[in-house]
Amino acid sequence: MPLLEVKGLEKSFGGLKAITDLSFSVPEGQIFSIIGPNGAGKTTLFNLLTNIYKPTKGSIFFNKKDITKLPPFKIAALGISRTFQNLQVFMNMNVVENVMVGCHLRSKSGLFASAFRLPSVIAEEKRVRDMALEALEFCGLKDYSSQPASALPYGILKKLEIARALASKPRLLLMDEPAAGLNDTETMELCRLIEAIRDSGITVLLVEHNMGLVMEISQTVLVLNYGRLLAKGSPRDIQKNPEVIAAYLGEG
């Protein structure tokens, strides 16, 4: 049974069709990669899956539940989290606070309880901080925990987004070009990190241009071209597919 199922998805921006009649399903436990040239509609697809954009047509099922019309925060509550191609780190907070926001769904103090700092809040604060530190440690960021986010280099911020997403204990993690802008060492580390995430039981939907990385760690690769599904299969099949080579792989 697939964890995520997309049926007949379509998105137009005015006259431009960014996604056309897209259907696919993602089995649980995989690293499932989506590749395609710039402008193919990969980020748009992520924005549709999280309902940051409303689909023009089609439906999305997560864990058999129709999530097409749910607001993003409810989709997150069902167990989908993501990182962003253009960083969306909370620059007004330090590292551990960023990740503590990721624990929002795993804690519950409201404004009133927080304002009066009821005993339950004090206990929860400690618990949330520990959960955040655990996520930071998993991503190798523990030493940065008290640094302000605004003072950190790009590579660290990209990892911070991953730690923040993991802190919500998602079942499905969407990663939009996590290797972009990273050097070779950082990319290697990222590779191991993504595998560790998958091994911890989280299904990973990965958008990435680094073909070495994609082919090494994915179980399934889906190729998008002008918003349409061009091919889908194992990394080996995709690398041999003549249409894919002509449209995408061949050029690089």
Partner 1 sequence: MKRLLGFYIFSFITLVLPILFPDNYYVTVVGLTVLINISLAVSLNLLMGYAGQISLGHAAFFGLGAYSSAIFTIKYGFNPWTAIFFGLLIVFLLSYILSRPILKLKGHYLAMATLGLGIIVHIFFVQADEITGGPDGISGLPTLSIFGFPIDTDLKWYFIFAIFMLITVLLSLNIADSRAGRALSAVHGSEIAAQMMGIDTAKVKSHIFVFSALIACIAGSLFAHQQNFVSPESFSFFFSIELVTMVVLGGLGSTFGAVVGAFILSILPELLIVFEDFEVLIFGAILMTIMIFLPDGLFVAIKNKIAFLAFKRSQKEVANATS
User: Residues interacting with ligand ADP, by CB under 6 A?
Assistant: 13, 16, 18, 36, 38-44
**In this structure, what token pair is assigned to residue 179?**
């290797």
81 binds Mg ion (CB under 5 A): no
Q: Which of residues 187-226 bind partner 1 (CB under 8 A)?
A: none
Using CB under 8 A as the binding rule, the residues of this chain from 148 to 177 that contact partner 1 are 164-165, 168
| In the complex, minimum distance from the CB of residue 46 to Mg ion, in angstroms, rounded to a whole number | 8
Cross-sheet strand order for the sheet of 57-62: 16-27, 2-13, 57-62, 65-66
Which residue, 86 or 185, has its beta carbon nearer to ligand ADP?
86
Beta bridge partners of 16: 13
- Considering beta carbons, is residue 163 or 221 the nearer one to ligand ADP? 221
Q: Starting at the earlier edge strand, list the strands of the sheet with 228-233.
A: 80-82, 172-176, 203-207, 31-35, 220-225, 228-233
The partner residues of 4 in beta bridges, in order of sequence, read: 26, 62
Per DSSP, 41 falls in state: S
Integer Cα distance of 188 and 235 in angstroms: 19
Least gap, CB of 222 to ligand ADP (angstroms): 12
Q: Rule CB under 5 A: is residue 85 a binding residue for Mg ion?
A: yes
Q: How many residues bind Mg ion (CB under 5 A)?
A: 3
Nearest to 204 by CA among 212, 214, 40, 248: 214
Which of partner 1, ligand ADP, Mg ion, none binds 109 (CB below 5-8 Å, type-dependent)? partner 1
- List, in order, residues 6 or more apart from 66 with CB less than 8 Å away: 59, 60
Report in angstroms how near the CB of residue 211 gets to ligand ADP at its nearest: 15
Residues forming contacts to partner 1 in the complex (CB under 8 A) are 50, 52, 71-73, 76-77, 81-82, 84, 88-93, 97, 100-102, 104-105, 107-111, 113-117, 121, 124-125, 128, 164-165, 168
